[in-house]
Structure 1
């Protein structure tokens, strides 16, 4: 492959306003679409030699209908939206971008934990709405909060992001332990524990593993009941790892102190989602799948995609 390729980005809405985005034009004939509906797929993808997808599924049927396709670039770490067997049968490489969002996800992990555990959203409103102004003392809070130093901090998934979160938690003085769904010991200075021990002993459970057959619904009601009533759950990984209805039940029954969730089984969140029925909203902090999306992370993502195109088109 030598001539400049025809490149199509199917769903570029999350990155197309960054300054580095225009550099795609230097790599070939570049076309991008903010979004691609199912009915628009063939219109947008036909003729592409390099296809970039974030969430759009490239099924075997779709790949077979694209005779010009020579390279698939996934604008993410995971490649589960591509039928890799179908691509391999056509000798089409599938390239992802790993590690681009590590610091961004780790940053929101700690921020979200502190926001829910320290009741910061309520306290902010209390000042603006005058509750603090009417207080009899110089200080004001609704419920006590605790320091992270000395607390046992459990991480599910000790990959790149899990390790970065472990470093940040350790900087606060937390005692990090981790669980590996595959039973692997990682080369890290933290002890590995079985899931039950992690749930039963930790003040924080932070999820950073991939969604696989082994981790789907890893935490159901039976597992959440094993957590300490003072513990917090943070999920910045994938929605399907936590049984969402079970989490609401656990919160409503005061089984755990609170949770911070950035990912959902259905995205965007539907109006009738079970999370929206939680009794005490201040105990369930919801953010719209934004942990990955710092400007720096999205810039690294774009640069990684461009590198993959350069390497794949040599």
Structure 2
């Protein structure tokens, strides 16, 4: 009999259904799990489900029964995959479930910032419309997306979908060549050219040792058109102190971030210090979280487990 333990069920909304596997099993779920609770909660488990709870080499060494870690997300940086390989533990992830929700959130951030929706909403709440004495007023600049150049960092499923939507808006999407690399083919525009010519830059890359901190002051200083910076991927991809400095120096015109380097963020996180500005929007890592996307994720998660037990493995990264 398989013992399945979900360490952080609260990372999925309560209305999302989790089907139960057809094979004989025990299913245990915890809303949240602290790092010092992981070993005890996974004692005797053969299958662990985690979204963000870290599974380190030290933890894995104390779990001899573990056979599969089913990550309830696409990113697997919470799992020490090298330790899993040494120990013979397989790791699966979720793919393709966010093809609508993340791009739609990306464009929601773009539209809100380009059209100054936050500032105008605040003005309406503060009585500025009544004070204007006419049917509209122009306290803040409004810009269209049409005709803008959109620099896309990350050419996977989400980046490709963002490019498709951008064309419908009349934008010119450019896929940035990987930082520090050339000769990647006709899909790509050189990294430096994307930085220099984009009106908006949106990030859809995984967080790896190579991509961590890929946007910092040298990159912001190379941005000639003072772009919006949109990040719905991972917080660690951007140097947050440099990002705020770039905004203060007028090197960029606005920030739309759904992800931060620490989640939930500390009170002194650089973006939290400026989150009330009208040209800054911070959302709590919910770009992925439409009900439709979450249900697709949950269905795929349990299917990965079913197929693993049947020795018909799906979506394995280790």
TM-score, normalising length: structure 1: 0.92
Partner of 1:287: 283
SS in 1 for 2:151: strand
Deviation string 1:81-100 (CA, Å, 9 cap, x unpaired) is: 21222222232211111111
Partner of 1:85: 82
Name which of structure 1's ranges 304-313 and 132-141 shifts more when overlaid on structure 2: 132-141
Q: CA deviation at 1:39?
A: 2.0
1:3-152 alignment runs, 5 A limit: 4-15=1-12, 17-21=14-18, 23-24=19-20, 28-152=25-149
Residue 142 to residue 229, structure 1, CA distance change in 2 (3 Å): farther
Distance 1:312 1:239 in 2: 31
Q: CA deviation at 1:49?
A: 0.9
Backbone CA RMSD of aligned residues? 1.8
Q: CA deviation at 1:19?
A: 4.2
Partner of 2:267: 271
Q: CA deviation at 1:219?
A: 0.9
SS in 1 for 2:128: coil
**In the alignment, which of 185, 199, 206 is matched to residue 195 of structure 2?**
199
Q: CA deviation at 1:213?
A: 2.1
**In the alignment, which of 230, 236, 239 is matched to residue 232 of structure 2?**
236
Distance 1:14 1:279 in 2: 23
Distance 1:42 1:165 in 2: 40
| 1:18–1:299 Cα contact (<8 Å) kept | no
- The count of corresponding residues between Structure 1 and Structure 2 is 307
Name which of structure 1's ranges 137-146 and 8-17 shifts more when overlaid on structure 2: 137-146
| 1:123–1:141 Cα contact (<8 Å) kept | no
Distance 1:77 1:183 in 2: 27
Q: CA deviation at 1:214?
A: 2.0
Deviation string 1:185-234 (CA, Å, 9 cap, x unpaired) is: 47xxx852122111111111111111122211111112112223542111
Deviation string 1:44-89 (CA, Å, 9 cap, x unpaired) is: 1101111111111111221121121121111111112212222222
Residue 250 to residue 55, structure 1, CA distance change in 2 (3 Å): same
Distance 1:5 1:184 in 2: 48
Distance 1:240 1:19 in 2: 28
SS in 2 for 1:176: strand
Distance 1:134 1:222 in 2: 44
| 1:251–1:278 Cα contact (<8 Å) kept | no
Distance 2:276 2:267 in 1: 17
Distance 1:269 1:65 in 2: 30
Distance 2:228 2:115 in 1: 11
Distance 1:139 1:166 in 2: 33
| 1:238–1:263 Cα contact (<8 Å) kept | yes
